[in-house]
Structure 1
């Protein structure tokens, strides 16, 4: 048995403190996410956040070192949690068509959590727009992978799979830029949900 105050005790104590700090930071990110998704972030100051969260600036800056970095951390947190939820929902689905639909419906559900104010702020501020682009690209890559699996399983027509893969990237880019939303009148959440049905119906093998 290691004596009290040994290196092992110190390491365990440090690990417990790290977990506690990480849990507090995660809780703060959850609460910040609720505020930003509902109201956007361009007009909300650090003083506003401290007052509404009932915390000090020191506590708030444990999330990140500046207001701009906090905004980016919250945006990453939103996409990371959404991705985790979506992947969990499609993990047990073996049918390629249903995987595409469930994946993009999940993306749509996540995007529907965004108020118009948050969406406009996110795409207007380059650091968060970059985070959005990165996640949109990852979603397009994921759906293309599902399509390839569907072709290999004989569920999708091979001739149209490459076209569908490119169309997905273009459509997601259109949602991200706002151009598709402006022309269709859809929200980002609605557009992603509809996209899954369009893709699967177009690729399905017909008798």
Structure 2
């Protein structure tokens, strides 16, 4: 039988509204996760570190994994809001995509190497990160398709491009490039590769 701190499969984060005190604890947890990771997070340790009752922590989720999941989902939801906004209001699809990847890089700046590493190895982090990578991939592909339809991007195999993007995003998510460059920089480089690969090259007029 699982104890509250045991690694159980995460369910959906609780949607119950937070009190001011719970919100402060929640925000403090996110700051801690971003600074030092979350693989070693336990209810007992958090109660001591944040000087709060376990009851306050359990208001955030019924188990250790549910709390971690809720915090991570909130973090990636904030990123999604920022990156979705970055796609809007541009005159060209290329500018929209560049803005999108810049927004990803900026949003991930507070994330320490320990946080990124835990997204790769902690089961809860893997699940949340994987889902958000899938959603980000869908947004990128839609932006490329819009550029193709407008004639800004060259026509190519949408399925091939989608597969390449999905593979690259998944490799970044899994930490495959960690020994080469940080995840933030990997997203920036991927953005440049995509843009230079899909932009239609027109012969200059004489």
Q: TM-score range by the shorter chain?
A: 0.7 to 0.9
In structure 2, do the counterparts of structure 1 residues 84 and 58 end up closer, same or farther at CA, with 3 Å as the change threshold?
same
Q: Could you tell me whether the CA contact under 8 Å between 1:112 and 1:188 is conserved in 2? A: no
Q: Secondary structure at the match of 2:118?
A: helix
Matched, 1:132 2:150: no
Task: Name the residue aligned to 2:187.
Answer: 192
Q: Could you tell me whether the CA contact under 8 Å between 1:37 and 1:115 is conserved in 2? A: yes
Task: Name the residue aligned to 2:165.
Answer: 168
Mean CA deviation greater in 161-170 or 78-87: 161-170
TM-score by length of 1: 0.82
1:39-188 matched pairs, under 5 angstroms: 39-159=36-156, 161-182=158-179, 185-188=180-183
Offset at residue 47 of structure 1 (A):
3.0
Q: Deviations over 1:69-114 (max 9, x none)?
A: 1111111111111111221222222310111111122222223322
* Count of aligned pairs: 188
Which sections of structure 1, spanning at least 5 residues, go unmatched?
1-17
Q: Considering only aligned residues, what root-mean-square deviation do their CA atoms show, in Å?
A: 2.2
Which sections of structure 2, spanning at least 5 residues, go unmatched?
1-14
Q: Deviations over 1:108-163 (max 9, x none)?
A: 22233221211222211222201111100111111000000000111000125543
- Partner Cα distance (2:17, 2:155) in 1: 51
Give the structure with higher Rg (CA).
1
Q: Secondary structure at the match of 2:107?
A: helix
- Partner Cα distance (1:104, 1:112) in 2: 13
Task: Name the residue aligned to 2:32.
Answer: 35
